[in-house]
Chains A and B, each alone.
Chain A
Amino acid sequence: MSDLKGIYALWYREFKVFQRERSRMVASIVNPVLWLLIIGGGLGSVLSFGGVDYLSFLYPGILLQSVLFSAVFFGVYIVWDKKIDFLKEVLVSPMSRTSIFIGKILGGSTDTLLQSAILLVIGYVFTVSGVLKGITFSPLSVIIASVFLFVTTVGLVSIGLIIGSQMESPEGFQLISSFLIFPMFFLSGALFPIENLPSWLTPFVLVNPATYSVDGLRGVLVGLHRFNLGLDLLVISVFSLVMILIGTYAFRKMKL
């Protein structure tokens, strides 16, 4: 595989840029924590689900939210690369388009998963200090949660890259990705249980891959889940695979 160095190169670039643009990191950590403390704290005073306090119920949902927003949003950088000639520099290299796509996924996933790791640490600190009462932090639960986060991230970064590869302007990207991100977030069960929803809402929740991600994370970390964890993992794995395939195709067809 002569493209390995090139894949590393693309990852290296994203990682360096991510390291240097601290504001990206800070915003991506502060926002979820605010959600957790304000929405969780506010609604937590009147709500609890399945015998768990709302803050703990919400925590896996916030993990998903952070992954969803930063992974999909990562696709905007490809639009910026198009605006200058950087994308041409990469496309004109001997690397195959598939390898370029893989390099981009790795770069975007690293950014996103670093944020998740920090949120896990924050969650642990909150648990130790008693703010979060219902979260099980054990080596096993963290590992399984990480697997869920990883598989979800890869699929979502792919979605972002697919949109990015087709868009001309960052504004356009913003618009299209918002149409996707917000419904995915609100219909995922991140904020409320999905057991007794109105019947017109249920199909939307069930076709949403994020639902299975939240369900898996909540199952592992809080012990509340609707589906079998194996099914959750299967669904998001299939989702991510399909996104990778579509993304590879989109990159091959990408025009300048």
Chain B
Amino acid sequence: MDIIETKNLTKTYGNLTAVDHLDLKIGKGEVFGLLGPNGAGKSTTLLMLTTLVPPTSGTALVNGFDILRQPDQVRKSIGIVFQDPSSDETLTGYENLKLHGLLYDMDAGLREERIVEVLALVELTDRKDDMVKKYSGGMRRRLELARGLMHHPEILFLDEPTLGLDPQTREHIWEYVRRLATEKKITIIITTHYMDEADRLCDRLAIIDRGKIAVLGPPDQLKKELGGDIIRMRAGNFDMESLRELDYVTHVGKDDGSISVTVRDASQYLQDLLGRVGKVEGVEVRPLTLEDVFIHYTGRAIREGAPEGGWAEKVMRAGSRK
């Protein structure tokens, strides 16, 4: 059963098409990743699915409810962890959670129970009575994650949830996200630019570029489709065309004096390939990663520390309002 279905979902800001006739189906209990370069439209998609921004055209069903006609029901079904800080720093961690519980109409008993549960989860129990302004960036992030989980939503949206967190905390959070998906059947939709995490965590992912889906599928399948390994060679002149014609080669690329050949299985074909190329100065073989898939479809590397939906997109949004 599809818990999210977008139909021609489109958002334009002036001349710029942030999301371009997006058709996407996400199944219940899935961990679904949205990857894309800066400005690809991931955050805008999230904002539309969470009813915060109306689409220019098209619509979407979230938990069976139409985002345009039944926004209240949609909002009851979802939780979201925003990219920017969204807790009140003059309140304590506990008070921020209490506030959230009240906003979601939770009774006192349940509210207190959940607060204890989520605080323990993100290991903030002993800091719960400190004002959020005294928290580190990572602690604040964890608090907001705890908050997004507190009302046990059907669907949890995570917009760059582990941005700027230390590896240990990230690990911890992903572990819990995974558990939520399997045990509680919560559907999780994340945008992230940590490829390793997207790879390990997501059941399926969509690489979005210029508001459109460039490719969609399980991470393993995406990698398999492109080939299995990348062989990088440094040497003088290659006949790239003839390499491309080999049936075990799926892709040939060139960067700063070396070429990268993507092959289905390096252990089997390396010998043959080297034989054809002739003398090389260096060879490097590594398995294909999601990062390679990403570069293949978008032509760009995802940039560390510069998530989409940040500065550039905000400027665009601000401009469109005038």
A residues apposed to B, CB below 8 Å: 2-3, 5-6, 8-9, 12-13, 16-17, 20-21, 84-86, 88-96, 168, 255-256
Contact A17 B91 (CB under 8 A): yes
- Cβ of B84 < 8 Å from any Cβ of A? yes
- Cβ of B120 < 8 Å from any Cβ of A? no
Chain A neighbourhood of B86, CB < 8 A:
84-86, 88-89
Contact A13 B105 (CB under 8 A): no
Which listed residue, B83, B91, B100, touches A85 by the CB 8 Å rule?
Answer: B83
- How far, in angstroms, from A9 to B105 measured CA to CA in the complex? 10
Task: Give B100-121 as 1s and 0s: 1 = Cβ < 8 Å from A's Cβ atoms.
Answer: 1011111000000000000000
Q: A3-B105, A12-B98 are in contact. List 5 more A-B contacts (CB 8 A).
A: A9-B103, A91-B52, A93-B100, A95-B103, A256-B47
- Cβ of B186 < 8 Å from any Cβ of A? no
Chain B neighbourhood of A3, CB < 8 A:
105
Shortest Cβ distance from residue A167 to the other chain B in the assembled complex, whole angstroms: 11
10 A-B residue pairings within 8 Å (CB atoms): A6-B102, A20-B131, A84-B85, A89-B86, A93-B100, A93-B103, A94-B104, A94-B105, A95-B103, A168-B318
Chain A neighbourhood of B318, CB < 8 A:
168
Tell me whether A17 and B52 are in contact in the complex, defined as CB-CB below 8 angstroms, given that A9-B102, A93-B103 are known contacts: no
- Cβ of B10 < 8 Å from any Cβ of A? no
Contact B91 A13 (CB under 8 A): yes
Contact A88 B82 (CB under 8 A): yes
- How far, in angstroms, from A92 to B155 measured CA to CA in the complex? 13
Which listed residue, A2, A92, A255, touches B75 by the CB 8 Å rule?
Answer: A92
Which listed residue, B52, B87, B98, touches A86 by the CB 8 Å rule?
Answer: B87
Q: Which of B51, B83, B86 has the most CB of A within 10 A?
A: B86
Shortest Cβ distance from residue B140 to the other chain A in the assembled complex, whole angstroms: 11
Chain B neighbourhood of A92, CB < 8 A:
50-52, 75, 78, 80
User: In the complex, how many residues of chain B place their beta carbon closer than 8 angstroms to a beta carbon of chain A?
Assistant: 33
Chain B neighbourhood of A8, CB < 8 A:
102
B82-99 CB contacts (< 8 Å) to partner A: 82-88, 90-91, 95, 98-99
Which listed residue, A2, A13, A91, A96, touches B99 by the CB 8 Å rule?
Answer: A13
- How far, in angstroms, from A185 to B308 measured CA to CA in the complex? 46
Contact A86 B102 (CB under 8 A): no
- How far, in angstroms, from A94 to B71 measured CA to CA in the complex? 9
Contact B102 A5 (CB under 8 A): yes
Shortest Cβ distance from residue A222 to the other chain B in the assembled complex, whole angstroms: 39
8 cross-chain pairs, A with B, having the tightest CB-CB distances, nearest first: A9-B102, A85-B86, A85-B82, A93-B103, A85-B84, A89-B86, A5-B102, A94-B76
- How far, in angstroms, from A3 to B104 measured CA to CA in the complex? 8
Task: Give B216-244 as 1s and 0s: 1 = Cβ < 8 Å from A's Cβ atoms.
Answer: 00000000000000000000000000000
- How far, in angstroms, from A9 to B106 measured CA to CA in the complex? 11
- How far, in angstroms, from A85 to B83 measured CA to CA in the complex? 8
Chain A neighbourhood of B295, CB < 8 A:
none
Chain A neighbourhood of B75, CB < 8 A:
92-94
Looking across the interface, which residue of chain A has its beta carbon closest to that of B322?
A168
Contact A85 B85 (CB under 8 A): yes
Shortest Cβ distance from residue A251 to the other chain B in the assembled complex, whole angstroms: 14
